[in-house]
Structure 1
Amino acid sequence: MPLLAYLILPFLFFGFIGTSSGQDKPVYQSENLVVQKVADHVYQHISYLQTQSFGKVECNGMVVVNNKEALVFDTPSNAKATQELIKWVQDGLHCQIKAVVPTHFHDDCLGGLDEFHKQQVPSYASQRTIELTKANSLPVPQHGFDTVQELKVGSKKVVVEYFGEGHTRDNVVAYYPAEKVLFGGCLIKETGATKGYLGDANTNEWSATVTKLKQKYPEIKKVIPGHGKPGGTELLDYTIGLFRPE
């Protein structure tokens, strides 16, 4: 293989791969972080969390971009991956990050929150999440809301909404109406997933919470779960069935 090829291949694998129009294809990849495109203006970021019960777990988040602005939903699980994501959004997409939103209080949602605060990126979360971060000595989001928060990205909006308890009592979801993409966070399971960590869950209400979500947004086309592969509304149906009270 020519010397030039040896020099280029590691860069392609570990650095900026570009913004390919192909969906569900990595556009950035390193040992800490993977970013893939799931819609014209929506990306899924994937980082890794080492857990005692489930080993090394892939953790998803979402980035929505419009008119050189970006919103991030859930931080990567650690500082290093978060630094990479911020750099990729700023240098790879040439976007200003307008806000970051952790969808609940666990590490896989806000493990990198301090890195956004260092960059003067404002953070938003439900009041329930803020209360739980304070109670558990975790990084605290700066701005709270009760049930619904609309955030602007360029000329578009993303709706962050609380539908009820499930994976945790504070879990919210983020919906981008312009492309009908839902980031369900850990409230939504990938098809075939187990129930996972239930230490802070309300399994009695989980199914009803997702049912409310599905009824509110029947036009959803793409769903990004908290862990695993994105899909369509079959992820909502799978989650509803998984936790349906017997």
Structure 2
Amino acid sequence: MRIITALCICLLCMNLFQANAQRKASFKPKVVFKSDELIITQITPHTYQHTSYLQTDDFGNVPCNGLIVSNNKEAIIFDTPTNDKGTELLLKWLQDTQHFKVNAIIPTHFHSDCLGGLQAFHSHNIPSYANYKTIALAQERNFTVPQNSFTDSLALPVGKEHIVAKFFGEGHTRDNVVGYFPSEKVLFGGCLIKEIDAGKGFLGDANVAAWPGTVEKVKAAYPQVKVVVPGHGEYGNSKLLDFTIQLFSTK
């Protein structure tokens, strides 16, 4: 009887594991919030891409991506929407609709498509973290300044999981970092990473010579990555890393 009972328990656990794996495999991304200022798309069971818009002289009205990572009703955000209005919409959805506690905001570099809505986060008493170079560059330009600095890398808890923000080298800017959510193998590349078939974009603060080598380091650090979210455009997989390396290796 004990052997039969143990076998039944084993089979039940296997069935639950297979069912959970099938749910993950069958997950279909979907837009969960949409307004003129902000779009939120769930891209995995526990991550969401947020997209807001930045009016520029050279490239028109540019869609700009950030990433929300969630677990156990907690969230961490990489990059703010481009202004406070979009940020307030994002926080309202996270806090009032999803009932998430937002643990942190992490701008991945100093441009306004990463920290344009930072003051709204501070107004909600949400702590901000950034590479010490991002803080220095924001101070130089009289932008809203992130509150807490790190040098090489940062790990923060989100529910029962954690995220990592890490500086691999210069590229789009001198301070650009990437974000990684190990439990779902999701990489937020920010503006360091380009969508497939993109052009080189704004290079005013770039180190083009270092760019492909930096992305090579990112690729080597996260060989298991499944989803890659660029700063602008469509998310995809590790092919975005390969495309970015090739784009900036070409003279």
> Is TM > 0.5 for Structure 1 vs Structure 2?
yes
Distance of 1:203 and 1:92 partners within structure 2: 42
Alignment equivalent of 2:136, drawn from 131, 146, 149: 131
* 1:24, distance to aligned residue in structure 2 (A): 3.0
**Which of 52, 58, 63 is equivalent to 2:57?**
52
**Could you report, residue by residue, the CA deviation over 1:38-61 in whole angstroms, capped at 9, with x for unpaired residues?**
111000000000000000000000
Q: Secondary structure at the match of 1:109?
A: helix
2:193 and 2:153 map into 1 onto residues whose CA distance is 18
Q: 2:226 aligns with which of 198, 218, 221?
A: 221
Runs of 4 or more off by more than 6 Å in structure 1?
none
* Distance of 1:195 and 1:30 partners within structure 2: 29
CA distance in 2, matches of 1:242, 1:92: 40
Is the contact between residue 156 and residue 163 of structure 2 (CA under 8 Å) also seen in structure 1? Answer: yes
- Supply the distance in 2 between the matched residues of 1:239 and 1:24 (Cα, whole angstroms): 24
Whether the 8 Å contact between 2:27 and 2:45 is mirrored in structure 1 is no
The alignment yields a C-alpha RMSD, in angstroms, of 1.0
Q: 1:242 aligns with which of 238, 243, 247?
A: 247
Runs of 5+ in structure 2 lacking a partner?
Answer: 1-25
1:94 matched to 2:69? The reply is no
Larger radius of gyration: 2
Matched, 1:155 2:160: yes
What SS is found at the alignment partner of 1:204? Answer: coil
- How many Å apart are 1:22 and its aligned residue? 5.4
Conserved 8 A contact 1:127-1:146: yes
Give distance in 2, aligned partners of 1:145 and 1:35: 28
- Name 1:192's counterpart in structure 2: 197
For residues 150-203 of structure 1, the C-alpha deviation after alignment (integer angstroms, 9 at most, x for no partner) is 011001010000000000000000000000000000000000000000000000
Contact 1:148 1:162 in 2 (8 A): yes
The one-letter code sitting in structure 2 at the alignment partner of 1:166 is G
Report if aligned partners of 2:227, 2:236 keep a CA contact under 8 Å in 1. Answer: yes
Offset at residue 92 of structure 1 (A): 1.7
Paired positions, count: 226
One-letter amino acid of the counterpart of residue 86, structure 2: A
SS of equivalent residue, structure 2 residue 195: coil
TM-score (norm 2): 0.89
Q: 8 Å contact 1:22–1:37 — kept in the other structure?
A: no
Q: What TM-score do you get using the length of structure 1 for normalisation?
A: 0.90
